[in-house]
Amino acid sequence: MRPRRSTLPVAGAGCLAWLALSIAPGLAPGLAAAPSASVDLGGTAVPGGASTNPAEPTTLTAGLWSATVSAQYPQHFTYARRVKDSVVHVGVLGAPQSTDSDALSVKVGVRTPESTSLTSCGSASDTSEYVVPHAVLGARVAAGAGDGSSAESCRGSDELQIEVGRGSTSNPAEMPYVIKIVEEAPLTDPGGTEPDEEPSYDVPEPRAATERPGAASLAKAPKLDARSGPVTVTTTLTEGTEQLWRVPLTWGDLPVVRVDVPAATGADAETFSYSGPDLSVHLIDPMRGRFRHVDTEREHSATGQYVADEEGEGQQLVAAGYPVRPANGLLPGDYWVSVALEAAPEDRDPVDVTVELTAQVVAGGADEPSYQQAVLSQEQDAVPDGYSSAKPFLVGEETFAAVASGNPVVVVDEAEGWLSARRGAGLGVAALSVACLAGGLVRLRRA
């Protein structure tokens, strides 16, 4: 008698295939996720979506929020101050979706009885770098910092108006971005009132290197603890990509980054005899503003190329920050080092470039500010829960911290109920799993 062929392998394979597709985040069965080389910025989706109507702005609380902005329509938000006389820090960080030039801007203002137009609390913008236009870009504003009537108006206002736009860019691609809001309590001693115009630092010498690739995600960026001395790591970048490392800083710290790029050899030497792909290094602060200082008097540069060299010598990139001080507009917390490699032209495949990164934190230890022992709410009828002079930063709804890092925002859509679409999909997957298992057992018993 001809043996009966079991249908278990076929049925099992079908179940597994369906399950593999179904559990992919945000995917329906049979659909594949589109790959993306952009940096994962993190954040929680703006509740209800970002408004493009200045008369009906979206309300935000302190935290890290994500959205997507077009080149045509700026987005509008409001923030209600929680601590009386505070400085409200607002930062944006975007991930360009093409190799065309791009820009991102943020403006903060308040309404006053004296004027029908907004009183400006500051504006900032960042434009993509010509050599690596796909790298992240970001800017920040400290609303209410400093002296003067506009600063006083910004500190005294109950509500701030925020606009996020793309500046004068003509890039049609929509840009994912995050907006971070942190409220800083009033200072009793700013730890020095003059900003550092020219930070003093030495370029660190590389140490014994370990392989530690950066991440294409701020949340997953590996930590470099460089406060006790230089730390050297190696990584390999593919053309058109960007990698990030995380460097925690406290008051007075000054970060310095050196990137050594080798000379092209072998087949790469023939391809890049004169002009190879460009590299760039930047720093990103806790508020997601992008910045760097370059000592041009010592002929340093934060950009370079992967090219062949007759003497076999590579190039060196150097970028530094400023001491973390209120006068410099910087806050303690997680900073990031960004290294990006120019995208390959369409007529050839991307190449890999292995570089060596050395980071050092010059610990200042001086000029540490101090904060009020107690603060009032904006309504002056309560003391905000969780505040202390050791935790002066409101980083989330009713969440104070010693540093400006972190994203404690958790959004629960009450209208959606317990049986949300995501939970419904999860129950569907569980039900199918049981069905597959039951079907398999039946076929085994019949075999």
260-318 residue pLDDT tens: 999 999 999 999 998 899 999 999 999 999 999 999 888 899 999 999 988 889 999 99
What pLDDT, in 10s, does the model give residues 124-172? Answer: 999 999 999 999 999 999 999 988 888 999 999 999 999 999 987 878 8
What is the pLDDT at residue 146? 87
3-state secondary structure of 395: strand
Tokens 């860019």, residue located = 169
- Contact present, 395 and 44 (Cβ < 8 Å): no
pLDDT surpassing 50 at residue 35: no
Q: What is the mean pLDDT of the segment spanning 190-203?
A: 88
161 token code pair: 């108006």
- DSSP-derived secondary structure for 267-305: HHHHHTSS---EEEEEEE-TT--EE-B--GGGT--SEEE
pLDDT for residue 135 = 96
Q: Of 244, 235, 226, give the one whose Cα is nearest residue 288.
A: 244
> In the predicted model, is pLDDT for residue 447 greater than 50?
no
> By C-alpha distance, which of 149, 101, 109 is closest to 126?
101
Whether residue 43 has pLDDT greater than 80? yes
Residue 198 has pLDDT above 80, yes or no: yes
Whole-structure pTM value: 0.82
pLDDT of residue 426: 38
- pLDDT, tens digit, 9 for 90 and up, residues 13-29: 444 333 333 333 333 33
Has residue 418 got a pLDDT over 60?
no
Q: What is the mean pLDDT of residues 242-267?
A: 96
pLDDT-derived band at 1, boundaries 50, 70, 90: very low
What pLDDT, in 10s, does the model give residues 52-91? 999 999 999 999 999 999 999 999 999 999 999 999 999 9
